[in-house]
Amino acid sequence: MTTPTPYRYSRHPDLRVTALAGEGVVLHLGTRRYYTVSESGLLILEALAKPSTEAELVAAVLDHYAVDLDQATRSVTAFLARCRATGFLVEHKGP
């Protein structure tokens, strides 16, 4: 199992997130690009409306889906990595 990082993350202020037919549509105003995310990705992005730790995001996934801790952690870690690559996240260092 991977160890969550101690940072807090939030959505980039240029993101607009909308639920649509069981998934999410994301518009990044800064890049003018649209993205689709899965239902679980939408859940994570909605949780990122306020600064959250990776552990808090894992807890949100565990509360909503019937998965074990290891699977939830892997999913959140992978989704955050994709969000970093697309400029979806703001990292807040410290508590």
Q: Could you tell me the sign of the dihedral formed by the alpha carbons of 80, 74, 45, 27, in that order?
A: positive
Higher pLDDT, 63 or 20: 63
Higher pLDDT, 5 or 75: 75
Q: Residue 35's pLDDT is what?
A: 93
Report the alpha-carbon angle 29-14-62, nearest 5. 120
14-36 mean pLDDT: 91
Q: Which domains are assigned to the chain?
A: 8-86 (3.90.930.60)
E strand intervals along 1-88 = 8-11, 15-20, 23-28, 33-37, 52-53
Q: What is the pTM of this model?
A: 0.86
For the chain, give percent helix, strand, coil, nearest 5.
40, 30, 30
